[in-house]
Amino acid sequence: MIERDIAAPHVRGEQPHHFEILATDPVTRARVGILRTRRGEVRTPAFMPVGTQASVKSLTPDEVRASGTDIILANTYHLMLRPGLAVLEAAGGIQRFMAWDGPVLTDSGGFQVFSLAQRREVSEEGVTFRSHLDGSRWELTPESAIDLQLGFGSDIIMPLDELVGYGSDDAAQAAAMERTHRWLRRAIQRFAERQGDVAPASRPLLFGIAQGGFDPARRRESASFLRDLPLDGSAIGGLSVGEPKEVMAEMLDASIDGLPPERPRYLMGVGSPEDLWRGVAAGVDMFDCVHPTRVARRGALFTPDGRVDVTASRFRTHFGPVDETCTCPTCTTFSAAYLHHLFRARELLAYRLGTIHNLWFIQREMARIRDAIARGTFVEEMRAFLDRYRPADSGAAALQRQRNRGLRAEAGTG
Ligand SMILES: [Zn+2]
């Protein structure tokens, strides 16, 4: 490992040592670079598969690595409830526990508290809630979110933020942003107390999160708030929560306008193939999303022509691979007809093979994106991808959910 002098949390201005921009696209805001963490380098733009419970569902770490993945994400909310901080500390950190030898980014737990937990109460101190597993009472504060992630051994740490849904009123959006900013100052304070004496190259990175709801001016304000704080990177939160795509694009642009350009930018919770190309064009360096792996387990597989439902009857006797252009272990070994059969029969191998393909597909797109930016052909390649790729429309998706419910009933598993 190269010993690099990663400076104390980055202060506005010069290029931080842990993030190197190798090339920028002359037309869009796309850029290609390297993010250096204490557990290895991440090629950016990067897609981070989600390992909610210290596992990318159905895959081994070797399979995740082989897909072209440099870094994975794990969820603090799930890990704090089970297996719990004590187990992860005793294991020597999440990487050793799950046998993943690369960097791990953890979220703060806030998103799941606001979406999964029961009887949630938010105060200035933090948020209390009941576990969705057993109803036990828990508390998360800006300080405890930092302590938990340091205890897990996370390499990129996210501060606790307050979220409001799409369609919530203006006053609620403004109040959540203000509280997110106050909580961020407390998170930075705690991080400095705990990590102030640690050699720069050995400590995790601390990102800030820009919120601001669905008002472009507020988005810019929240992003600008991060500029003057000592942080290693910027995340954009609170998007892809049900708003129309054009609203998301407008909010993303407004956020990126306000963020310091020299720090890595991470768009949270976004990761469909078309959103990755568009997000990179908007200036995003990092993405995470359950989408590619979650839809894979329903038989929705990516191809250069768009997402296909491999459970559809047209694949029953399709003995070629689901994606002719794909070099993943699924496509080079198994036919679409076999996948069709496995999904219809609800065989466990279906989930693995589907996940492998979608993850390979996404990481191949990320590699194409990075190469295109470096070669100066990003805009042409993005247009070629978007012209050809057909995202599943909502009607097809609803039909597929219906069919899967039927299949579950048939197989007697749900
Ligand atoms: Zn494949």
In a domain, 5, yes or no: no
One-letter amino acid at 389 equals Y
User: Domain check: are 321 and 395 in the same one?
Assistant: yes
In a domain, 221, yes or no: yes
Cα of 361 vs centre of ligand 1, distance in Å, is: 6
Helix axes 378-388, 273-282, angle to 10 degrees: 150
The model's pLDDT over 54-102, given as tens digits with 9 standing for 90+, comes to 999 999 999 999 999 999 999 999 999 999 999 999 999 999 999 999 9
Distance between CA atoms of 296 and 314, rounded to whole angstroms?
18
Cα of 184 vs centre of ligand 1, distance in Å, is: 41
In a domain, 14, yes or no: no
Query: Considering the chain, what is the average pLDDT of its residues?
Result: 92
Final residue before a domain boundary, out of 289, 311, 330: 289
Cα of 321 vs centre of ligand 1, distance in Å, is: 8
User: Domain check: are 340 and 266 in the same one?
Assistant: no
Cα of 408 vs centre of ligand 1, distance in Å, is: 25
Say how many domains are in the chain.
2
In a domain, 12, yes or no: no
Final residue before a domain boundary, out of 289, 307, 332: 289
Cα of 360 vs centre of ligand 1, distance in Å, is: 6
- Flag whether pLDDT at 131 surpasses 60: yes
- Flag whether pLDDT at 1 surpasses 80: no
pTM, 2 dp: 0.92
Burial (Cβ within 10 Å: 0-12, 13-18, ≥19) of residue 16: buried
Q: How does residue 7 score in pLDDT terms, banded at 50, 70 and 90?
A: very low
- Flag whether pLDDT at 14 surpasses 80: no
In a domain, 91, yes or no: yes
User: Domain check: are 273 and 300 in the same one?
Assistant: no
The model's pLDDT over 214-243, given as tens digits with 9 standing for 90+, comes to 999 999 999 999 999 999 999 999 999 899
- When pLDDT is averaged across residues 11-27 and rounded to a whole number, the result is 87
Distance between CA atoms of 30 and 265, rounded to whole angstroms?
11
Q: How does residue 110 score in pLDDT terms, banded at 50, 70 and 90?
A: confident
In a domain, 121, yes or no: yes
The model's pLDDT over 300-353, given as tens digits with 9 standing for 90+, comes to 999 999 999 999 999 999 999 999 999 999 999 999 999 999 999 999 999 999
For residue 260, the domain's CATH number is 3.20.20.105
Cα of 298 vs centre of ligand 1, distance in Å, is: 16
Residue that wins the pLDDT comparison between 362 and 410:
362
Q: Is 157 helix (H, G, I), strand (E, B) or coil?
A: strand
One-letter amino acid at 190 equals R
Distance between CA atoms of 185 and 208, rounded to whole angstroms?
10
User: Domain check: are 284 and 315 in the same one?
Assistant: no
- Within 133-272, residue ranges assigned H as helices are 142-152, 170-195, 216-227, 245-258
Domain of residue 45, residue span:
19-289
Final residue before a domain boundary, out of 266, 289, 312: 289
25, 70, 107, 155: the active-site residue: 107
Buried/exposed code over 307-327 (b: 16+ C-beta within 10 A; e: otherwise): bbbbbbeebeebeebbbeebe
- Flag whether pLDDT at 410 surpasses 70: no
The model's pLDDT over 356-391, given as tens digits with 9 standing for 90+, comes to 999 999 999 999 999 999 999 999 999 999 999 998
- Flag whether pLDDT at 142 surpasses 90: yes
The model's pLDDT over 260-305, given as tens digits with 9 standing for 90+, comes to 999 999 999 999 999 999 999 999 999 999 999 999 999 999 999 9
Neighbours of ion ligand 1 (CB under 5 A): 326, 328, 330-331, 357
User: Domain check: are 104 and 139 in the same one?
Assistant: yes
25, 161, 275, 288: the active-site residue: 288
Q: Is 288 a known active-site residue?
A: yes
User: Domain check: are 267 and 347 in the same one?
Assistant: no
Cα of 323 vs centre of ligand 1, distance in Å, is: 6
In a domain, 2, yes or no: no
User: Domain check: are 181 and 196 in the same one?
Assistant: yes
User: Domain check: are 285 and 332 in the same one?
Assistant: no
Residue 5's φ and ψ, nearest 5 degrees, are -85, 90
User: Domain check: are 136 and 189 in the same one?
Assistant: yes
**In the prediction, which pLDDT does 411 show?**
42
Residue 105's φ and ψ, nearest 5 degrees, are -100, 135
Cα of 48 vs centre of ligand 1, distance in Å, is: 18
Cα of 67 vs centre of ligand 1, distance in Å, is: 10
In a domain, 7, yes or no: no
User: Domain check: are 128 and 147 in the same one?
Assistant: yes
